[in-house]
Chain A
Amino acid sequence: MRKEIRLSGYGGQGLILAGIILAEAAMRDGYEVVQSQSYGPEARGGASRAEVIISDEPIDYPKVTSPDVLLLMSDQACKRFAGSACEGGTVIVDSGLVTSVPETPGIVHEFPITDMAVEATGRSISANVVALGVLNTVAGLVSPESLKKAVSARVPRGTGEINLAALGAGIAASEAAGVG
C-alpha cells in the first residue's frame, strides 16, 4: 500500500500544517510516512502545496507523482494540479473558493470547506483542519483517533478546541454527504 496525498492552494491556508498533521497521524497508526512541501517566496497568497506519502513499506522515492488524494483549495491549484490526480482518485474541492473545476481523472467531491470552517469555528483559518476531516473521511487514510491526537499535538497552543471542532465539522459533513 502506497498512498500519495497532495494538498494544494495558496500560502496562508495552513496546508503545510495540514500535511504535517496527516503525516503525524499516519505515523501514530504505525505507517511509514514522508511529508514535504513547496511554496513560493511570498508568505501569503502565493501558490502553496504540501505532500504526504503513507505506506506500509519503507518509502523509497519521497515525492508525489500521481496523487491518490488531491485537495484543491484555489483556482490556481485547480489549473495546475487537477490533471495530476490518479485515475479514480479522490479529489476534494473547496467549492466556495474554486469557481470552476477543470477536467480531472479523479472523482470530484465538492465541499464549501472555508465556509464550513467559518460556520463551525468562526475562523476561516481553520479550513485546513476542516479539509483534513473531509478528506480523511472520504479517502479513509488514517484512524480518526490518530488524526484527532495529531491535530491536538500539532496546532498552535490554545487552538486545540477550535481545531477539534473544525475536524469534527469536516467529518460530519462528509458523513452526511454519504461519501465517508
Chain B
Amino acid sequence: MPGRKGRDLRLLQGNECCAEAAILAGCTFFAGYPITPSTEIAEILSEKLPQVGGHFIQMEDEIASIAAVIGASLTGAKSMTATSGPGFSLKQENIGFASFTEIPCVIVNVQRTGPSTGLPTAPAQADLMQARWGTHGDHPIVALYPSTVPEVFDLTVKAFNISERLRVPVILLMDEVVGHMREKVEIPHVSDIEIINRPRPDVPPEKYLPYAAGPDGVPPMAPFGTGYRWHVTGLYHDETGFPTTAAPNADRQMKRLYAKIESAAEEITFTSEESLDDAEIVVVACGITARSARRGVRLARERGIKAGMLQLKTIWPFPYGIIGDIAGRVEKIIVAEMNMGQLIGEVERAACGKCEVVGYSRVDGEPIAPAEIVAKIEEV
C-alpha cells in the first residue's frame, strides 16, 4: 500500500500537529507557560513561529500568557495559548474578558487529571464544564474536542476560523492521550485549507463604532495601530466601546453575544457517528473515549446488539437538537466519560426524558477500554 505521490503524509504527535495546524491557520502569536501535557505545543511554536514572521513569548505565568494573547489579537494577530488543567484555571478571568470584549483567540487545554495538581499527568476529561463555565458570568464560548491526530489538525484550523468569524474565544480541549500519541496525518496544501479572517471595518476611523454589529451579531474589528482608536473594557459597554450601566444596553449586549453563537450553531457543530441508523442503544462520547466507544459498538454489533455511537467534536455550543432527535428514536443512551459525570447532565437535558440516559465514568487516570463499553452496553 504505497503512499500516493505528492501527498504530505507525516507521523505527528497530537501536540505537534496542533502547532503545525495553528501556523497553517494563520497564527502569528503564541504566549504561554509550559505545563505537561501541553508543553510540546509551546516548544514547537517557539521554533516555528519566528520562521514565519510570527512571535513566541514565554510569559511569567498563565495569567500573563492569556493577557498577552488578548493584546496581540487586538493588533490583528491570530493568537493562541496552550496549557493544561491548573493553567486553564488561571486563565479563566481573562478568557471571560476576551469573551465579553469579543477578542478572537484560541486556548488549547490538553487535559490532565485534576483537581489541583492532580495526577501529573494522567488523562482525564474533567474540564468539559470548566471550558463552558470556568469564568464568571454569562458569556459565549465555543469548545471543540478532537479524538485523533488528524482531527487535531482539522479542529485547530476550525478553532481559529470560528474564533475569527464570531470574535469569540475558542477552547480546543484535548486528551493527554491524543496530545501525546503519534498518528499518520495528511497535511493539506495551504491553498486547500479554508481560512477565515475576522471582519474588518469598511468605514474610516472617525466613523468607526467598535461594537456596532451587523445582522450576524459580529462587530467589525479594527486592528490597533492602523489609525482606528477604540476603547476596550470589561465593563458593559455600548457601540462606542465606552462603559455604560444603562439596563436596556446591558440586556441588548448580553443577548447579542448569545445570539451570535446561536445563529452560527449549525455551522460550528461537528459530530461523527457509527451505526446510528437502526441503533437501539447509543453511546455518546468525545475525545479518546469516542474511539473506545467506536470499537465497543463494533464489538457489540458482532454480538448481535444494535448499538451505535455519536462522537461530539463540538461540545460547546452543546448539540441539544442532534441528541434530542436521537433520544426520540432509541431505547437507551450511554454517556461514557473520564469524569464523574459532566457530559451526561447536558445529554439528559437534550433527551428530555424521551429515552433512558445512563452514565459510565472512569476516574483513575486510565482511558476507558472498549471492553468496558461492551460490558456497559450488555448491562443496560
Contacting residue for B180 out of A37, A60, A61, CB 8 A: A37
Are B1 and A56 in touch, CB under 8 angstroms? Answer: yes
Q: Count B interface residues, CB 8 Å.
A: 23
Known contacts: A20-B11, A62-B181. The answer to whether A30 contacts B291 by CB under 8 A is no
| Cα–Cα distance between A61 and B178 once the two chains are bound (Å) | 11
Shortest Cβ distance from residue A59 to the other chain B in the assembled complex, whole angstroms: 8
> Across the interface, do B181 and A34 meet the contact criterion of CB distance under 8 Å?
yes
Determine whether the beta carbon of B288 is less than 8 Å from that of A62: yes
Contact status B182-A61, CB under 8 Å: no
List residues of B (251-301) whose CB comes within 8 Å of A's CBs. 288, 291-292, 294-295, 298
**CA–CA, A29 to B298, complex, Å?**
27
* Chain B nearest Cβ from A67, distance in angstroms: 15
- Chain A residues lying within 8 Å of B183, measured Cβ to Cβ, are 33-35, 59, 62
Interface-centre pick from B11, B148, B370, B371 (highest chain A CB count, 10 A): B11
- Interface status of A152 (Cβ within 8 A of chain B): no
CA–CA, A99 and B177, complex, Å: 33
Q: Is the CB of A60 within 8 A of B11?
A: no
Q: List chain A residues, Cβ under 8 A from B295.
A: 60-61
Task: Report B-chain residues with C-beta under 8 Å of the C-beta of A31.
Answer: 1
Number of interface residues of A (CB under 8 A): 22
Q: Residues of B contacting A84 with CB < 8 Å?
A: none
What residues of chain B lie closer than 8 Å to A20, measured between beta carbons?
Answer: 11, 182
The smallest C-beta distance from A158 to any residue of chain B, in angstroms, reads 20
Cβ of A65 and Cβ of B369 under 8 Å apart?
Answer: yes
Which of B3, B148, B183 has the most A CB atoms < 10 Å from its CB? B183
Task: Check A15 for interface membership: any CB of B closer than 8 A.
Answer: no
What A residues does B1 contact at CB under 8 A?
29-31, 56
Interface membership of B322, Cβ < 8 A: no
Report the 9 A-B pairs with minimum CB-CB distance, sorted nearest first: A30-B1, A61-B295, A35-B182, A60-B295, A36-B181, A60-B294, A24-B11, A61-B370, A27-B184
Q: Contacts A24-B11, A60-B292 known; list 9 others, CB within 8 Å.
A: A23-B182, A41-B120, A59-B183, A60-B294, A61-B292, A62-B183, A62-B291, A63-B177, A63-B367
A-B contacts, 30 of them at CB < 8 A, read A23-B11, A23-B182, A24-B11, A27-B11, A27-B184, A28-B3, A29-B1, A29-B2, A32-B184, A33-B184, A34-B181, A34-B182, A35-B183, A36-B177, A36-B180, A36-B181, A36-B182, A37-B180, A41-B120, A56-B1, A60-B292, A60-B294, A60-B298, A61-B292, A62-B177, A62-B183, A62-B291, A63-B177, A63-B367, A65-B369
